[in-house]
Amino acid sequence: MTLFPLTNDEKSRLQRLNRDKATLFALKKLFINVACERPASYEVNFLAAQKIAINMLFDVFHDLEIIQPDNQTLTNRENLV
């Protein structure tokens, strides 16, 4: 859901801005500093925690999808006597 859709002109301006790495880095630092200075409401904290939990679940399921057995040979340790 896009709250504020970008026009083609705005997208081209952002592409030009993206080429200026020093300005882009300064903007990122500014946004992070402003966001960290203001206390978040309960709703924002709740949504952030929910998003983090969902991302953790996706990561776990992704790890399960790509899990591979170790290449070690397994030895049977039953009935050693």
> How do residues 51-62 score in pLDDT, each as one tens digit?
999 999 999 998
Q: What is the pLDDT of residue 27?
A: 92
Average pLDDT over residues 39-54: 92
Could you give the CA distance from residue 12 to residue 17 in angstroms, rounded to a whole number? 9
Checking if the pLDDT of 73 tops 70, the result is no
Q: What is the pLDDT of residues 21-42, one digit of tens each?
A: 999 999 999 999 998 888 889 9
Q: What is the pLDDT of residue 47?
A: 93
How many CA atoms lie less than 13 Å away from 8 in the CB half-sphere?
0
Domain spans, the chain = 8-66
Q: What is the pLDDT of residue 70?
A: 76
